[in-house]
Amino acid sequence: MRKLLLPLLIWLTMAALPASSETNKAGEFDYYVLALSWSPNWCVRTGHARKSPQCVQNSGHGWILHGLWPQYHRGYPAFCRTAKKPPSRGMTADMADIMGTSGLAWHQWKKHGVCTGLNAADYYALSRRAYARVNRPPVFRKLTRTVKLPASVVEEAFLKANPGMEPDGVTVTCKAAQIQEVRICLSRSLNPVPCGQDVVRDCKKKDALFAPLQ
């Protein structure tokens, strides 16, 4: 009986895992998540304490590109093995204008870019194209003080600014009572698509903090 129980337990354990988590092979994924982070909120939570160059006065950073993430319909690959060369310092520095720092650009390549099947230059170029395709509502850059607002207002603003997007393809996250990110689901050709169930988890806060530009 014990000989039968062990294989059964192993099978049940494997069956409980998301099918999409069985492989982390570069180039094998279903769609992208474009993550846009509101820089002033990150600076309040973390960046100022780190003395990040992203948070210097008059930096002008608003919605920065947190990353372009390969995604399965359920779960996502990360830290895939790749034979592609890592990006040079110059390549990561060139991404700081939309990512805030070269360090973030490097981290995104190391965790997510390696799973796209692209080389570093092409991954950054694709990330920049994806970022440019999204209209970021200018209203948030006009704030002069920290406000409290429903997370749903942020999503509605993005949907209005991007008529081709649908509510099931955009989600807003919160962290430490603040608006954290807007995450937009895109096809491999960077067209709007519905997000997987594990991505569509909208923040329900009605009084999330939103800080003005530095």
What is the separation of C-alpha 95 from the centre of its chain, rounded to a whole number of angstroms?
A: 15
Q: pLDDT tens digits, residue range 191-203?
A: 999 999 889 889 9
Strands 63-71 and 170-175: unpaired
Q: pLDDT tens digits, residue range 115-146?
A: 999 999 999 999 999 999 999 999 999 999 99
Cβ neighbourhood burial of 161 (10 Å; 0-12, 13-18, 19+): middle
| Average pLDDT taken over every residue of the chain | 91
Segment 155-165 shows an average pLDDT of 97
Determine the Cα–Cα distance for residues 9 and 2; give it in Å rounded to an integer. 11
DSSP 62-77: -EEEEEEEEE-SSS--
Joined together, the tokens standing for residue 173 give 């996250």
Does the structure show a pLDDT above 90 at 4?
A: no
Amino acid at 117: G
Q: pLDDT tens digits, residue range 39-64?
A: 999 999 999 999 999 999 999 999 99
Model confidence, pTM: 0.88
Q: All domains of the chain, ordered by start, with CATH?
A: 31-210 (3.90.730.10)
